[in-house]
Amino acid sequence: MAPVRPGADVEEDRLSFRHLTMPHTERGMVVGLFGGSFNPPHEGHRLVAEIALRRLRLDQLWWMVTPGNPLKARNGLKPLSERIALCEAMASDPRIKVTAFERGLGTSFTARTLEQVKKRNRNAHFIWIMGADNLKTFHHWQNWRTIAQTFPIAVIDRPGATLAYLSSKMAHAFERARHDEDDAGVLWRQKPPAWTFIHGPRSTLSSTAIRDMSG
């Protein structure tokens, strides 16, 4: 069980049962998993979600707002309920399900979260989605190789990180598992490890920059 930070019980009181449980899936659905602290969410996140929905031909995209990133300091982290509300205001496509089920599971590491998603949704197909800026540090994530071997991964281009698919440790480790982005629409069929890098429109916004401007 992940440690619960002070005030978590009060925060959970502000969250609905819907937010704290996994969204419902039907047999054969293709679902994208887009996780992060989203502190705050911005146009770049919305753009990644829209590109993923279109290029990966998703039936759903789970916008997974995490309680906190184990690799980042929690100073300045907005309450989970506030970040969820901001994400929902930004996610206009009905296929996007904003969720904080990791709080309900008590998980804080992606590998453990994906293990539970796979265990509880045997009849659906999942793709882990992340921005290219995260690809550069992916090898620092706990059990990162396990993540790559659990679900296919779609890496969406981000400003300043376009070449990450060439230089990152993950890209080198799973070089033979990379698929052409023209085949992104059938990535869900591939047995992991399998990943692709998707180029497209990019937003220069970042959560860090937004916090600096508002601070």
**Per the domain annotation, does 2 fall within a domain?**
no
pLDDT reported for residue 72: 64
Residue 81 in this model has a pLDDT that exceeds 50? yes
Residue 92 in this model has a pLDDT that exceeds 50? yes
**Per the domain annotation, does 15 fall within a domain?**
no
Q: Which domain holds residue 33?
A: 23-214
| pLDDT tens sequence across 8-31 | 444 555 688 889 999 999 999 999
Measured in whole angstroms, the distance separating CA 102 from the mean position of its chain's CA atoms is 12
- Angle, vertex CA 43, rays to CA 41 and CA 46, nearest 5: 80
**Per the domain annotation, does 97 fall within a domain?**
yes
pLDDT reported for residue 107: 86
**Per the domain annotation, does 150 fall within a domain?**
yes
pLDDT reported for residue 21: 95
Residue 212 in this model has a pLDDT that exceeds 60? no
- Report pTM: 0.85
Cβ burial of 171 (10 Å; 0-12, 13-18, 19+) is buried
**Per the domain annotation, does 118 fall within a domain?**
yes
| pLDDT tens sequence across 100-158 | 999 989 888 999 999 999 999 999 999 999 988 888 889 999 999 999 999 999 999 98
pLDDT reported for residue 208: 47
Residue 3 in this model has a pLDDT that exceeds 50? no
Q: Which amino acid would we find at residue 73? A: A
Let me know: does 5 contact 83? Beta carbons within 8 Å.
no
Average pLDDT for the chain: 86
**Per the domain annotation, does 191 fall within a domain?**
yes
**Per the domain annotation, does 7 fall within a domain?**
no
Domain at 32, CATH number: 3.40.50.620
Structural domain total, the chain: 1
**Per the domain annotation, does 127 fall within a domain?**
yes
